[in-house]
Structure 1
Amino acid sequence: MAIAVNFSAQALRQKTFPRAMADLALNPLPSQTSHRLELKRAKKQPNGVAIKKQEQNKLTYNRGVSSVMSSSNSDIESILGQPSAADTIKDFYMCINEKNLKGLEGYISEDCYIEDCSFYNPFNGKREVIHFFYLLMGSMGQNVKFIIEHICEGDSFTAGVNWHLEAEELFSDNIAEWKQTQIPFTRGCSFYECSEEGEILVIK
């Protein structure tokens, strides 16, 4: 199947994973506060943050939504031995940035399903999904990378991500340095649902 992938505003505006079907209003929480404390606050003090889950046709609001803003949250999850959707998504984007297709395959479930607003048909199954990201990484080249702005975690291993693209410029002394300005019209928001496979999480 031939698929054209580009970085126009239309093609990169939004990437959705409909099994999560989340409508997350991103309200960053203080980065120095513990992850579990913020979970408790989110449950006790509804603040308009909502997750819409397509599971048995029920809606779940204001349940355990938290914003992942620092590495301390990842450390807590590691200590408790619990897999984290946020860590999985971070590693997933790292594989894309490093053009590591083999590593990327380890984060994709066999029944993964992607619906992208830029394409008429969804990508269904691991083979189609991997082919999509293969074309995406080829279109990015070596000088474009995804930059994660915010990650919000929800119940049942769901996560929402705000991201944009930045470019790398190679100077005359052969030293590559990241520019802090983002590429225009490349901001996006993606929603993910993960599932456990052994001791790891994979994207559904």
Structure 2
Amino acid sequence: MIHTIPIFHFGPSHLKTDLHLPHLQASTFTTAASTSSNDAALPNPTFHTCGLALASVGRQNNNWWKLRSNNPTAVASSAVELESASNVVRKFYDGINRRDLASVEDLVSLNCIYEDLVFPRPFIGRKAILEFFKQFMDSISTDLQFAIDDISEEDACAVGVTWHLDWKGKPFPFSKGCSFYRLDVVNGQRQIVYGRDCVEPAIKPGETALVIIRGVTWLLQKFPFLADRL
């Protein structure tokens, strides 16, 4: 008996470093049935692209794939697992704490955008971001360290962090902050493509902030044209 089961093919133009597999076109191939009364178990699905065969290895984790090269000069098989987004962010903070910019460089994409809300404009590009952190490192003592209070672990492309600064292991005043990072797979590894830091202000207006917000809202309602100047 001959069974027909689907297999999927796609061209080189659809190869992506994050291993997403869009635009699949279904075709078929045939396999001979087992001589026993029960059909034999089918193997894991295999996807072919650009001289590589990507086979699922039976894990639920979408980040795990086995790569089998059709090129005889390449290694016959190897396993690649993308690092989690949260671990990339942890490495970023660790590199800053160790004042090791070289270890941070590959964690930041070339076109990354980084916003520190203390500054009027964002830092655009890896070079500008690393220069900012070099100035940061040169300006403070090595005894001042980032300490992560909480970090989100669930998302593969977005990470939220709450943190504070420690001085020789003790919390530094007015140093709490929260950050958001968006990551993407670039050249086979996850890199930070966007970041935003919001730091605790040294001067806390308290209820005065609500008065200011009400006042600005009243002005915008009274003079709508002012909204164009925001």
Q: Could you tell me the TM-score, scaled by structure 1's length?
A: 0.53
- For residues 122 and 90 of structure 1, the distance between their equivalents in structure 2, rounded to whole angstroms, comes to 22
- For residues 109 and 81 of structure 2, the distance between their equivalents in structure 1, rounded to whole angstroms, comes to 21
AA partner of residue 87 (structure 1): N
- What are the superposed Cα offsets for residues 165-204 of structure 1, whole Å, 9 maximum, x if unpaired? 0012xxxxxxxxxx3x300110000000011123321110
- For residues 120 and 93 of structure 2, the distance between their equivalents in structure 1, rounded to whole angstroms, comes to 24
Aligned to 2:177: 188
AA partner of residue 182 (structure 1): P
- What are the superposed Cα offsets for residues 61-110 of structure 1, whole Å, 9 maximum, x if unpaired? xxxxxxxxxxxxxxxx8999242110000000000000001111111101
Give the percent of matched residue pairs that are identical in Structure 1 and Structure 2: 32
Aligned length, in residue pairs:
117
Q: Where does the alignment leave 5 or more consecutive residues of structure 2 unmatched?
A: 1-62, 65-78, 194-230
Instruction: Report matched runs for 1:168-187 at 5 Å.
Output: 168=168, 179=169, 181-187=170-176
Q: Please identify which structure carries the higher strand content.
A: 2
Task: Give the conservation status (yes or no) of the 8 Å contact 1:83–1:199.
Answer: no
Question: What is the RMSD computed on CA atoms of the aligned residues?
Answer: 2.1
AA partner of residue 100 (structure 2): N
| Stretches (4+) displaced over 4 A | 77-80
Task: Give the conservation status (yes or no) of the 8 Å contact 2:97–2:146.
Answer: yes
**2:111 is aligned with 1:111:** yes
Q: Where does the alignment leave 5 or more consecutive residues of structure 1 unmatched?
A: 1-76, 169-178
| Larger of the two Rg values belongs to structure | 2
- What are the superposed Cα offsets for residues 90-139 of structure 1, whole Å, 9 maximum, x if unpaired? 00000000000111111110110011111111101111111111111112
- For residues 102 and 82 of structure 1, the distance between their equivalents in structure 2, rounded to whole angstroms, comes to 21
- For residues 160 and 99 of structure 2, the distance between their equivalents in structure 1, rounded to whole angstroms, comes to 22
